[in-house]
Structure 1
Amino acid sequence: MKKTKVSPSRRVYIQNIYRCYTSEGSTMPASALLRFLHIEQMEKAASQETAEGLIDRYEIDQTARASRTMTFDGFYRYMESKDCHVFDQTHASVYQDMEQPLCHYYISSSHNTYLTGNQLVGRSTQDSYVSALRRACRCLEIDCWDGPGGEPIVYHGHTLTSKIFFKDIILSIEQHAFEVSPYPVILSLENHCTHGQQEVIAQHLISILGDKLLVSGLVHNTQPGQLPSPEDKAVVVAEKLSNLVVYTKSVKFHNFAHSREHQRYFENTSLGEKKARKLAKASALEFLQHNMMFITRIYPAGSRTLSSNYNPQEFWNVGSQLVALNFQSLGLPMDLNNGLFQDNGGCGYVLKPNFLRMDLGVFNPNSYRYNLKPAHLLLKVVSGSNLPASRSGKALDPFIRLEIHGPNSDCTSRDTDTVRRNSLNPHWDTAMNFTISVPDLCLIRFSARYQTGLTSEFIGQYTLPLISMKKGYRWVPLLTREGYSLDPASLFVFVWYY
């Protein structure tokens, strides 16, 4: 009878690592823990004080703490802690330069923010704005139409989507705009109202938002003829109501040459995804240079009646700032958006790489060769833990798909082998090597899946920028399609890149 291979648990694997740094039967001294931090975790700045701090934080055995050593249980607690999270915890706070002009940032942006479902019969609600703001979305769309009793309403025009009052949306925005992020919120107003109700819109913005509404230029702007930075003031900026527009006046896009000649620094353009895609393919360098000076908003095609999303990466690659997505629609595009914008403290603003802010002549997103230093990535998927079981209770066959997202030259995916009938503690120990041409644009997505015959079924995922990924032995949390934690489900990996 053939024996079934027993997968070692994560605890056993970590115990083997611990034994490499201790003598038989002894505890781990701070000096050995420091060697582990230097050699395995690649934390070159770690010191004896760092190691002793970890002992104080995770060791509960009083004798071990007094002798400045760590038992295996303390080491295991450390390895399961945020200090060993794959996401660099220094990036969980705002750490980037926030005094650059607004056009130098990716800005988390929502399309048809009022909808909870599709664009034909979906429900509209102000709660969708609260949800987006609590996810640090910094650009909200409001489609305004004439409503009853002189009160403007919001809905997807000429459809059966439900209607809500504009005033109620602004009340929600006033209450929640800066709960999660202190940086500016842009209101993208798609105005279909008659002159009388436009005046009501302006009155509501002024009376409800008060001094939170930006109504005049910021006199302490860094340079004349330049957009302010996110740091200048925590304000709400109206995009398309003429008398209240200051820095994001929407103008029609003709071509890049026309923009160079006529567009002013405080004017921005909105492009549908199809037109933007054609421009990105035919004139990538001009598009990229345009976005060094001006803000561009990209929105989903009108044919996406079910509120599906395009892949935002293709427009981040040319430096577009306001890449607007349907936040209510789940799947890969929103996973990438959430992954990018968890960087820089999850504040909704992420500084673009310097080659997308300055014309250095080193990057063309349509090329396969760049004058940039590539990254060589080794990623070993060691094991999983507590993956969700099937509703039927049937044993499932999990595998991990590792996806690289960036310019076309870097986009790829690879799978581990499938582990048969083990979702509790599957063990893969699969190493994958990648050469990444543009590390600063790279997002890594871990996708856990169950093999189901010739197809596979989604379990959970986690996405983060390569530049936010810690080296060494790390654990990866898994999230649902909705972005909620699947704790205690996680992966255990080893990461190394240079």
Structure 2
Amino acid sequence: MRKSKAPSTRRGEIQNLFNNYASGQTTLPASSLLGFLHKEQMELDADEAAAESLIEKYEIEEKAVESQCMTFEGFHRYMESKDCCIFEQTHTSVYQDMNQPLTSYFISSSHNTYLIGDQLVGKSHLDAYVSALRRGCRCLEIDCWDGPGMEPIVYHGYTLTTKILFKDVITTVEQHAFEVSVYPVILSLENHCSKEQQEVMAHYLTSILGNKLLDVRLDHQTTGDLPSPNFISFGHSKDSQNSCENTSMAEKKARKLAKVSGKDFVLHNQRFLSRIYPAGSRTSSSNYNPQEFWNVGSQLVALNFQSPGLPMDLNDGRFQDNGGCGYVLKPAVLMTSERCFDPSCSQRGIPPTHLLLKVISGSNLPLPKSGKTLDPFVRVEIHGIGSDCNRKNTSTVKNNSLNPFWDTDMNFRISVPDLCLVRFCVRDQTGFLSSDFVGQYTLPFSSLKKGYRWVPLWSRDGCSLDPASLFVFVWYS
């Protein structure tokens, strides 16, 4: 790809944008800033009052503020602010309709929540529940077994994982359930206890959770009669099961159903809740790709939260939407019965969305523990229905972690954007075909802002790598 003559630092790139709209002047009038907002940032609702508000917010030179102008330093502060983040800032608060039946939402869900390691010899720990809840998880799994002294215990049965007390788990949940979200927490109890210890469990649930516990059946007119553990067929569920009953199935069975009966699976998930969990063969507590089950509308796509990697990156990206409350409204394509949607088929009759991403540069990329300078490149991935999945790479920049410059255009054709996640992954080229993870950021396509934007980077375990970031240009139609 031909490289344009452009500055090698982000500050220089921002200076060029400033110069283009300042028309040779040393300051940017509010009217010119408004032109930038309209033409480059596609913030078409902005008016001159909005431009003046940005000047007051980011400009510190008094004379400039008085004359309703912005210096380059003020413009630079604005371009590095959350107002120019790639993630739509109105989506950092709850903005979706929260009055729909539970079946209408993707719900952040964890598997074997008690584990902080693998499911054979790993540790069970209360901190795992705290961590999941603080990440917005709204469905927790608790595997319950008879314990000594009539005290039910929680651990991965028939393994060497350590054990914790059921009453301590419930106490921890009560303390932390609503720290980051006011919306319901679903306790998925895998109950292996005797009748006597089940009574002890019931006592702890009622005495510890008190009035936070829903202990009566809800009469909800809009949901009809939520499928039983005997998941026989979609037709049987429709005719015989109550909406208040939940289907839980392993990934292999769910994957087969999604492949051979995609339309029916989508329709099933309009009425019933379905929970998908990782295969028992995943002894290292690895995860499947959750996107394949969101594609058919499954609400409770449960992952091992203690296992970092692509699946958890996608989960974090999906659920940072809607204020990080753990509930995200499913897109309309999964909720309509008028046109049967099958994610395994190409979407005929729907005009595709064309996405242009220009990956311009990076800034302050974290060095590896070895201290070696990076040879970074950026991989952009689209995760959605099968025909929309795609990924493209920039070229590699040698020996530059401070301000690598790529200036690479990437074009994607997307048929169902409302289901898509966009993932930016920075990698360090370590060999001809090998590379190491540096940082990533994932967000829903529906939260993607147009224009010149900066992309924050997160570590493998989902923590901020600030000030590390990317600088990009986004356009779609």
**What TM-score do you get using the length of structure 1 for normalisation?**
0.93
Paired residues of 1:136 and 1:348 also in contact (CA < 8 A)? yes
Q: How do 1:281-360 and structure 2 match up within 5 A?
A: 281-360=259-338
Paired residues of 2:144 and 2:153 also in contact (CA < 8 A)? yes
Paired residues of 2:93 and 2:324 also in contact (CA < 8 A)? yes
Using the TM superposition, give the Cα deviation of residue 159 of structure 1 relative to its aligned residue in structure 2, in angstroms: 0.2
Inter-CA distance 250–256: structure 2 relative to 1 (3 Å threshold) = closer
Q: How do 1:398-417 and structure 2 match up within 5 A?
A: 398-417=376-395
Paired residues of 1:373 and 1:438 also in contact (CA < 8 A)? no
1:466 aligns with one of 445, 460, 476: 445
Paired residues of 2:319 and 2:325 also in contact (CA < 8 A)? yes
1:478 is aligned to 2:457: yes
Q: Distance in 2 between matches of 1:36 and 1:354?
A: 33
1:424 is aligned to 2:408: no
Gaps of 5+ in 2: none
Using the aligned pairs only, state the percent identity. Answer: 67
Give the structure 1 partner of residue 472 of structure 2.
493
Inter-CA distance 174–193: structure 2 relative to 1 (3 Å threshold) = same
Q: Distance in 2 between matches of 1:396 and 1:225?
A: 57
Q: Distance in 2 between matches of 1:383 and 1:336?
A: 23
1:266 aligns with one of 219, 244, 250: 244
Q: Distance in 2 between matches of 1:14 and 1:195?
A: 68
Q: How do 1:6-405 and structure 2 match up within 5 A?
A: 8-218=8-218, 221-223=220-222, 225=224, 250-361=228-339, 363-405=341-383
Using the TM superposition, give the Cα deviation of residue 250 of structure 1 relative to its aligned residue in structure 2, in angstroms: 5.0
Equivalent position amino acid for 2:397 in 1? V
Once superposed, what is the RMSD of the aligned Cα atoms? 1.3
Paired residues of 1:380 and 1:495 also in contact (CA < 8 A)? yes
Using the TM superposition, give the Cα deviation of residue 226 of structure 1 relative to its aligned residue in structure 2, in angstroms: 5.9
Paired residues of 2:364 and 2:402 also in contact (CA < 8 A)? yes
C-alpha deviations, 1:395-430, integer Å up to 9, x for none?
321000000000000001000000111111000000
Equivalent position amino acid for 1:28 in 2? L
Q: Distance in 1 between matches of 2:415 and 2:375?
A: 33
SS in 2 for 1:132: helix
Q: Distance in 1 between matches of 2:228 and 2:214?
A: 16
Q: Distance in 1 between matches of 2:41 and 2:7?
A: 24
Inter-CA distance 123–58: structure 2 relative to 1 (3 Å threshold) = same
Give the structure 1 partner of residue 425 of structure 2.
447
Equivalent position amino acid for 1:291 in 2? N
Paired residues of 2:225 and 2:242 also in contact (CA < 8 A)? no
Equivalent position amino acid for 1:10 in 2? R
C-alpha deviations, 1:8-37, integer Å up to 9, x for none?
100000000000111324200000000000
Using the TM superposition, give the Cα deviation of residue 391 of structure 1 relative to its aligned residue in structure 2, in angstroms: 3.0
Alignment size in residue pairs: 472
Using the TM superposition, give the Cα deviation of residue 222 of structure 1 relative to its aligned residue in structure 2, in angstroms: 4.7
Gaps of 5+ in 1: 228-248
**What TM-score do you get using the length of structure 2 for normalisation?**
0.97
Paired residues of 1:7 and 1:425 also in contact (CA < 8 A)? no
Equivalent position amino acid for 1:82 in 2? K
C-alpha deviations, 1:106-163, integer Å up to 9, x for none?
0000000000000000000111111111111000000000001101000000000000
Paired residues of 1:103 and 1:295 also in contact (CA < 8 A)? yes
Equivalent position amino acid for 1:452 in 2? T
Give the structure 2 partner of residue 230 of structure 1.
none
SS in 2 for 1:20: helix
Equivalent position amino acid for 2:161 in 1? T
C-alpha deviations, 1:324-373, integer Å up to 9, x for none?
00000000000000000000010000000112112131521010224434
Q: Distance in 1 between matches of 2:30 and 2:56?
A: 11
